[in-house]
A = this chain, B = another copy of it.
Amino acid sequence: MDKIILIADDNKDIVDILKAYAQKEGYKCICAYDGEQTLKMFKEFNPILILLDVMMPKMNGFDVCRQIRQTSSVPIIIVSAKNEEAERIMGLDLGADDYIPKPFSPREVMTRIKAVLRRVTDDISDERSKRIEIAGLVVDMNSYEAYVNGNPVVLTKKEIEIIWLFASNPGRVFTRDHLLENIWGYEYFGDTRTVDTHIKRIRTKLNLNQSVNFDIKTVWGVGYKFEVK
């Protein structure tokens, strides 16, 4: 599940700067240099957010925005040089989620990207959906805490994200590749035992050989799964 950001601007320098910063924050980037290409890339890669320049060849940002809005509610941030038009743009009812005037600082852009994404995800997931209880295990992503039979267990960020994924999908087998893609967010290369190591630590911490009603079971040759005994 990659986090892809689509950057659309006809100025390659600007694209490169934005791309560098976005990648630093862990997003993958695809770039388009005109309006038509933007639409094409959008359909092909299904990005989680679009940074959209207004002035582009072939089709301008406004029209691109309108077109995309007909089929998708993906967050769109409009970028434009004419900052006196800021209010007009937002008022145009294009369905854009934010507006950034040029010139901008890269930090400002990243802040806005994160803010827009947070706003979008915050709406969907209220507090309740961030907590899971199953077989005596409680995982709460609001407080980043876990409990086994009522006893708190100290888990690191990665560990709690992993157990959250498992507990959310009991019985389902996750391959190491799948876990790396889901939790780590990148493709798996090399033959390290990274996932195994994390599973081991989780097992140790959750004390899975004691009086516990669940298990992270090894599925030989495949991966791991969460199992309620």
**Which residues of chain A have a CB within 8 Å of any CB of chain B?**
10-13, 16-17, 20, 23, 33-34, 55, 57, 87, 90-91, 93, 96-99, 105, 107-108, 111, 114-115, 118-119, 122-123, 142-145, 156-158, 171-173, 177-178, 180-181, 186, 189, 219-222, 225
What are 9 A-B contacts defined by CB distance under 8 Å? A10-B91, A11-B87, A11-B91, A13-B90, A111-B189, A143-B172, A143-B225, A157-B222, A158-B221
Q: Contact between A115 and B186 (Cβ–Cβ < 8 Å)?
A: yes
Q: How far is the CA of A26 from the CA of B20 in the complex (A)?
A: 26
Q: How far is the CA of A129 from the CA of B118 in the complex (A)?
A: 27
Contact of A98 among B13, B111, B177 (CB under 8 A): B13
Q: Contact between B122 and A20 (Cβ–Cβ < 8 Å)?
A: yes
Q: Contact between A177 and B20 (Cβ–Cβ < 8 Å)?
A: no
Kindly list the 9 A-B residue pairs having the minimum CB-CB distance in the complex, ordered from nearest.
Answer: A157-B221, A108-B189, A143-B171, A12-B90, A111-B189, A10-B91, A13-B98, A144-B219, A11-B90
Q: How far is the CA of A105 from the CA of B115 in the complex (A)?
A: 13
Contact of A33 among B93, B115, B178 (CB under 8 A): B93
Contact of A13 among B13, B97, B222 (CB under 8 A): B97
> Closest Cβ of chain B: how far from A41's Cβ, in Å?
15
Q: Contact between B221 and A156 (Cβ–Cβ < 8 Å)?
A: yes
Closest-by-CB residue of B relative to A10 is B91
> Closest Cβ of chain B: how far from A64's Cβ, in Å?
16
> Closest Cβ of chain B: how far from A157's Cβ, in Å?
4
> Closest Cβ of chain B: how far from A152's Cβ, in Å?
11
| Known contacts A33-B93, A91-B34, A96-B12; A118/B178 CB under 8 A | yes
Chain B residues whose C-beta falls within 8 Å of the C-beta of A108 in the assembled complex: 189
> Closest Cβ of chain B: how far from A153's Cβ, in Å?
14
Chain B residues whose C-beta falls within 8 Å of the C-beta of A114 in the assembled complex: 177
| Known contacts A12-B90, A91-B57; A220/B143 CB under 8 A | no
> Closest Cβ of chain B: how far from A108's Cβ, in Å?
4
> Closest Cβ of chain B: how far from A114's Cβ, in Å?
5
A16-B119, A111-B177, A156-B220 given; 14 more Cβ-contact pairs under 8 Å = A10-B87, A10-B91, A12-B90, A12-B96, A12-B97, A13-B97, A55-B87, A105-B189, A111-B180, A115-B177, A115-B186, A118-B177, A144-B225, A157-B220
